[in-house]
Amino acid sequence: MIKASAACLIAGLSLLLTRGSLAQQDWPNRPVQIIVPFAAGGSGDILARVVAQYLTSSLRQQFVVENRPGGGGIIGTKQFLAQPADGYTIGMSSLSTLSLVPIINSNAGYDRDNDFVHIAYIGGSPVVLAANPQTGVKTLPEFISYANTPGKSFTFASSGVGSDGQLWGELIASSTRVKAEHVPYKATAQALSDLVAGHVKFSTFTLSSTSPFLHAKSLNGIAVTAPERMSDFPDLPTFKELGKPDLVGTTWFALSGPLGMPKDIVNKINRTVQAAVATAEVQARFRRDGIIAQPMNAGEFTEFVASENVRWKSLIEHVGLAGAQH
């Protein structure tokens, strides 16, 4: 009797495991939701839609983008983390939502190190140190000299306290040993408008945001945080070539999901995203928009996130922003 019960139990467990395995192999057999914790029209939203279109075509199932902005990305992030870990709801993650917000906002409500499965890196835009032409600053030595001149300073605009733009500005100030005066704005467009008008002197926005002003010569590009010169911006030097290897990185975007997602589904999405960003069409768009793709499997991307978390936590603590928002 006991042996018969044990046999039934084993058979039942085997059936459940088989069904689970078949369900994963069959994924996706219904629409998949990608929650974007940012407003429509921004870099994160645009990249999500590029990837969603390719996933839909390649996996022959609808991938639907849903914008859930608010709280600096907290609202949408918490929403996709609260969903079943079956691969049918995933979310857009980023430098901001993973490496910055949880340290700056003590009430973020999620654990950046333990609540996520990291699926695929999509792309990132390097940051440009740009100057209003009235400053006369065109090179990094001129920037350092200007910022250290009595009566002048590194007055830079960003899209808000605790934003990636502010943190990059603080990192640039620390590396070049100049005193920084941060001027926060509510929106990137407003900050860039004031920069062009001369109300602030410098900015540390992404290349994708700054590029129209660089092409129009209404801003001077001093240096970029890309690992090497961008092909569509050949005259813009990198901080690395100017002797600042610590100023290399991007404001990046990726796909993540709730803890517990099956590895085969994670790997399936990862392979499809890597194939998408390698296409000539997407590569051309990325070059035009100043975005860099870094091929990474899911394990490599997870290690990358861990290293970024460590990197930015130390800076956030150094500038006194840890737990600054409640």
Q: What is the pLDDT of residue 40?
A: 86
Please, are residues 256 and 298 in contact by the beta-carbon 8 Å criterion? Answer: no
In a domain, 3, yes or no: no
Residues 71 and 131 in one domain: no
Looking at the DSSP bridge assignments, the partners of residue 131 are 202, 220
pLDDT at 6: 52
Look at residue 22 in the predicted model and tell me its pLDDT: 47
Q: Return d(Cα 167, Cα 159) in angstroms, integer.
A: 11
Give the strand pairing for 89-94 and 63-67.
unpaired
Q: What is the mean pLDDT of each run of 10 residues along the chain (326 residues)?
A: 52 48 75 94 89 95 95 94 97 95 92 96 95 96 95 90 91 94 89 93 92 93 96 93 96 97 97 95 88 93 96 91 77
Contact 133, 218 (CB under 8 A): yes
Q: What local confidence, expressed as pLDDT, does residue 259 receive?
A: 96
Its domain, for residue 143, covers 126-224
**CATH number of residue 141's parent domain:** 3.40.190.10
Q: Does residue 92 belong to any structural domain of this protein?
A: yes
147 with 283, same domain?
no
The alpha helices in 162-297, defined as continuous H runs, are: 164-176, 188-197, 207-215, 263-277, 280-289
DSSP assignments along 111-148, one per residue: -TTTSEEEEEEEEEEEEEEEE-GGG---SHHHHHHHHT
Q: Which helix (H) or strand (E) holds 290?
A: none
Judgement on whether residues 45 and 119 belong to the same structural domain of the protein: yes
Q: According to the model, what pLDDT value does residue 16 have? A: 44
- For the chain, how many structural domains are there in total? 2
**Which H or E run contains 325?**
none
Return the closest-CA partner of residue 164 out of 194, 196, 127, 189. Answer: 127
Q: Do residues 132 and 55 both lie within one domain?
A: no
Structural domain contains residue 273: yes
Task: Using alpha carbons only, give the angle 186, 191, 195 rounded to the nearest 5 degrees.
Answer: 160
- What's the full length of the chain, in residues? 326
Residue 243 lies in a domain: no
In this structure, are residues 179 and 147 in contact, taking their beta carbons and an 8 Å threshold? yes
In a domain, 1, yes or no: no
Token pair recorded at residue 75: 């609202």
- Quick one: pLDDT at residue 32? 98
* pLDDT score for 19: 47
Please give the angle made by the CA atoms of 317, 210 and 66, to the nearest 5 degrees. 75
